Amino acid sequence: MSKFGRRDDKDLMGLLVEASTASLADANIGGKDIDAIYVSSMLSGELSHQTATASALADELSLLPAAADRIENGPASGGSAVKNAYAAVASGLFDTVLVTGGEKMRHVAGATVTDLLATMTHPTAEYMQGATLPSLAAMFTRLYMERYGVEPRHLALVAIKNHRNALKNPYAHIHREITLEGIYSKPEAELNNPVVSDPLRLYYSCPITDGAASIVITSAENARKFSDAPVAIAGIGQATDTLAVHQREDPTVLRAVQISSQRAFDMAKSKPKEIDVAELHDAFEILEIAESEDAGFFEKGTAHKAVEKGVTALDGDLPINPSGGLKARGHPVGATGVAQIVELTWQLRGDAGGRQVSGAEQGYSCNFGGFGNNVLSFVLKRGD
Amino acid sequence: MSKFGRRDDKDLMGLLVEASTASLADANIGGKDIDAIYVSSMLSGELSHQTATASALADELSLLPAAADRIENGPASGGSAVKNAYAAVASGLFDTVLVTGGEKMRHVAGATVTDLLATMTHPTAEYMQGATLPSLAAMFTRLYMERYGVEPRHLALVAIKNHRNALKNPYAHIHREITLEGIYSKPEAELNNPVVSDPLRLYYSCPITDGAASIVITSAENARKFSDAPVAIAGIGQATDTLAVHQREDPTVLRAVQISSQRAFDMAKSKPKEIDVAELHDAFEILEIAESEDAGFFEKGTAHKAVEKGVTALDGDLPINPSGGLKARGHPVGATGVAQIVELTWQLRGDAGGRQVSGAEQGYSCNFGGFGNNVLSFVLKRGD
């Protein structure tokens, strides 16, 4: 991974190179072994005025004539790139593939970023009415509060947990402990934690982040050549849902999370209760709660209680977002799906330092695109 | 395919739907059989303010919860999408996949399009110096003229051939016969065929086009369920080259065309001389000449003579661009690589109407990204 954060020191290509070279070094692999490159980036054209970014990265890394494609799938771009790289290897087209996701977002105004991110919503039913991702998330949060008794306090607890985890992640964007008093219960919390889109507040939403993340995928047979501790992509699931959120029978149910996770578990011959560590897509803190239910870890409407009991804390029964999640590791959009796989890989190898989930053998990640209309789920297993 | 042209009647999504529904109907396939969708579009965010376009198409076509990804690889986006769809099926992740490429480009100023297309060039060595695709193609043409004796007359002959072929393609953008007198030899030709970037003139370059193209890919076993005349993707090759054209040892040699075509021929166990029909990427007419050499159909520096002799005409030994090519079918950037596969499929099935190459059994396509820095080659064979 590159360091996530405000990275005025590098452009998008510089971030992609930083993560890619780290990944190649970690994989103990030379450029000649890379047959293909996948780059995931949602907004490289819009924010960096550069297209066909994967071709450029192939040249920058001296990996010519490796094949190179850019995948754009909104916030699920990273997961889509990992899926296509997996298929490229599994099909026999390529032996060893580099996947690097990245986004450079902080050099433009926040309102510009919010507008460009909203281009993933329904163009007439949502975008043209002024809907943005924060406003959709706010309505989703409100429904969740009314239906299941979630309170803003629970959103604060998720954020506090993820900020705490990120303190132990040197690559995280935000290294700052936050407290329930500071963002929720003390009188000054209203000022510290201003409204973004009621009932969403600043600390219930992820920041805008620059950064990149990278992995190397090869066949199971090949993996042993490069690593003593390979990690297997055991299951992949992907599913779409209606683009317009209001068209869903029950907007609080994330069907694409349900279907994609079920497919990933089936392919991996695994179950939610076998998972030791999970990376979920908390672009908004309510999403960590909802995804943890629809992926099958908790009954619908109960995850906020699990958060309260510490079940999802680093020392709980199911640690969620040990990396700090999108909330505190940050959310460079095209990088996120890849960064989740990086974190799970470190966890399954026992390389996660102070945030290590002890004895982790299986990990799950959920990369949530659009407002839940395109979701990828992965199950990773520690190699034997 | 959708009709290519100036399509003020539909937005990008409308064009993608038009091509997709035609493709599903042609494949005799219902929505329930589609497991995944690939959309190729270079500039959907920049020109249509829409991202994650594949998710939107999945919903629009009622194909939920099919997986959906958008591939952006400059002008090679279509070829990249076909490659990834092939890998998705060959890997066993999905059984049957829809690939739809499209671009909506004519609703903005030509200068805006030229600028956005230039974002695929080297950001500092080319783009910031004012290089555009036409100016790079002009320099390439000049080198070709000096090195191999190509004259503007040869470029005109390629354009005339492709315009003539397009007259027989109902989906083509341009239905107008042009003559050597009108665009080259008569005094008024200077006015009819103005300079774009010396020595390139209007008729030596492709137009800006709206349109979409779509195919269905499934396993060889499955194909017989849907079609009596399936066509096999027998070979795929992809290769990258230096992003900056001036860094190439010999800028007139298209290394990525050479390597990608060799790989496609090797995979297909075929050779250039076995090819009956070819679709080449004549974004500029000089490229049809150069690609036909580097793909192995003609000796380097001789293809312009073959054009002169009519070898590449519809009734020649190797018909090139029976569809009209990018010059006259048009070049909706993300659609082109898919449209080439559509044309070859029609040719190999014997469904190409007045432009049918009689007895075609093997076809080749070259989808040329950047200024030759990312190229995909395909060999297609008629099913038994």
Mean pLDDT of A353-361: 97
Q: If DSSP codes are grouped into helix, strand and coil, which group holds residue A365? A: strand
Confidence band, pLDDT 50/70/90 cuts, at residue A384: low
Q: How far is B205 from chain A (nearest CA, A)?
A: 21
Return the residue in B84, B242, B258 with the most chain A beta carbons within 10 A, the one to mutate for interface testing: B84
What letter would DSSP give residue B182?
Answer: I
Return the residue in A84, A248, A257 with the most chain B beta carbons within 10 A, the one to mutate for interface testing: A84
For residue B31, the model assigns a pLDDT of: 81
- CA dist., res. A147 & res. A334, Å (int): 32
Q: How far is A35 from chain B (nearest CA, A)?
A: 9
Return the residue in A39, A47, A51, A133 with the most chain B beta carbons within 10 A, the one to mutate for interface testing: A51
User: For residue A261, what is the enclosing H or E element?
Assistant: helix A255-268
Q: How far is B172 from chain A (nearest CA, A)?
A: 26
Length of chain A (residues): 384
In tens, the pLDDT along A30-80 reads 888 999 999 999 999 999 999 999 999 999 999 999 999 999 999 999 999
- Residue pair B217/B87 in contact (Cβ under 8 Å)? The answer is no
Mean pLDDT of A6-19: 98
The mean pLDDT values, 10 residues at a time, for chain B of 384 residues are 98 98 93 95 97 97 98 98 98 98 97 97 96 98 98 98 98 98 94 96 98 97 89 98 97 98 98 98 98 98 98 98 98 98 98 97 98 98 86
Which residues does chain A have within 8 Å of residue B243's beta carbon, measured at their own beta carbons?
Answer: 55-56, 59-60
CA terminus-to-terminus distance, chain B: 25
For the record, the structure tokens of A333 come out as 């959009």
Subunit contact A64:B122, Cβ cutoff 8 A: no
For the whole model, what pTM was predicted?
Answer: 0.98
Q: Where are the beta strands (DSSP E) in B271-320?
A: 277-279
Which residues does chain A have within 8 Å of residue B13's beta carbon, measured at their own beta carbons?
Answer: 123
CB-side exposure of B281: number of CA atoms within 13 Å? 33
**Strand-by-strand arrangement of the B67-72 sheet:** A211-218, A96-103, A36-40, A67-72, B67-72, B36-40, B96-103, B211-218
A249 Cβ neighbours under 8 A, 6+ residues apart: none
- Residue pair A285/A293 in contact (Cβ under 8 Å)? The answer is no
Planar angle of CA B211, B214, B217, nearest 5 degrees: 165
Q: Residue B177: how many CB atoms within 10 A of its CB?
A: 11
Q: Tell me which residue in B63, B74, B116 faces A55 most closely, judged by beta carbons.
A: B74
